[in-house]
Chains A and B, each alone.
Chain A
Amino acid sequence: GAVVSQHPSWVICKSGTSVKIECRSLDFQATTMFWYRQFPKQSLMLMATSNEGSKATYEQGVEKDKFLINHASLTLSTLTVTSAHPEDSSFYICSARDLAGGEETQYFGPGTRLLVL
């Protein structure tokens, strides 16, 4: 299957700082990428949909000014957690939508563990 990378895999930061997470589709072009958040022992919750060249669409309850998303190319989307606080500590996962061959599929990155002290 297609490969999606995510960087960094682990980040620890101080409260009040900003953290940028990159999501790349390595062997396919993704016009749409998605950002999810997963708390321990829970399911994935969609935060936002990122479309190349346009503004991201955020789910209800997700602060767009806090979670900045940029999808500047067909292979890269970034999520910036601005002024991070301990409650932002979580596991963030991106996915990329692959429409190759007419088969709709999403492939996931390995995730980023964020710990805000």
Chain B
Amino acid sequence: AQTVTQSQPEMSVQEAETVTLSCTYDTSESDYYLFWYKQPPSRQMILVIRQEAYKQQNATENRFSVNFQKAAKSFSLKISDSQLGDAAMYFCAYMRGSQGNLIFGKGTKLSVKP
């Protein structure tokens, strides 16, 4: 069975600095997708970034980028120029290509200090 592990329950970053959130996963599949979702206090799940396993190039979305290491089954999220609005729970998620359902890690609570 696939599993997703986020080893950092909480992280803190100074405003305008850079922070990296860790995620590892376990799978025997070759076709899958990886996601980072943000959940602010409103509890609305917001898609931050997605990565297809077959793509070697790391995905980027403005200040958000990932370091996808397929062999190591690692998928970390880097947030550059952190802003106060980035404070939230961040969930790493795995999706098996053919099924579509997401398997989530336990989340990392990110605090941003002004």
- Are A110 and B100 in contact (CB-based, < 8 A)? no
CA distance A93 to B101 in the complex (A): 13
Interface bits B69-97 vs A (CB < 8 Å: 1, else 0): 00000000000000000000001000101
What are 20 A-B residue pairs whose CB atoms fall within 8 Å in the complex?
Answer: A34-B100, A38-B43, A43-B91, A43-B104, A44-B102, A46-B101, A46-B102, A49-B99, A49-B100, A93-B43, A93-B45, A95-B45, A95-B102, A97-B100, A105-B50, A106-B95, A106-B100, A107-B47, A108-B46, A110-B44
CA distance A103 to B33 in the complex (A): 10
- Are A42 and B106 in contact (CB-based, < 8 A)? yes
- For the side of the interface on A, what is the size category? 20 to 34
Interface centre among B101, B104, B106 (most CB of A within 10 A): B101
- Size of interface on B: residues with Cβ below 8 Å to A: 23
- Are A110 and B43 in contact (CB-based, < 8 A)? yes
* B100 CB contacts on chain A under 8 angstroms: 32, 34, 49, 97, 104, 106
* A34 CB contacts on chain B under 8 angstroms: 100-102
What is the interface of chain A mostly: helix, strand, loop, or mixed? Answer: strand
* B107 CB contacts on chain A under 8 angstroms: 43
The answer to the question of A91 belonging to the interface, with a C-beta cut-off of 8 Å to chain B, is yes
Whether A111 contacts B102 in the complex (CB less than 8 A), given A43-B107, A104-B95, comes out as no
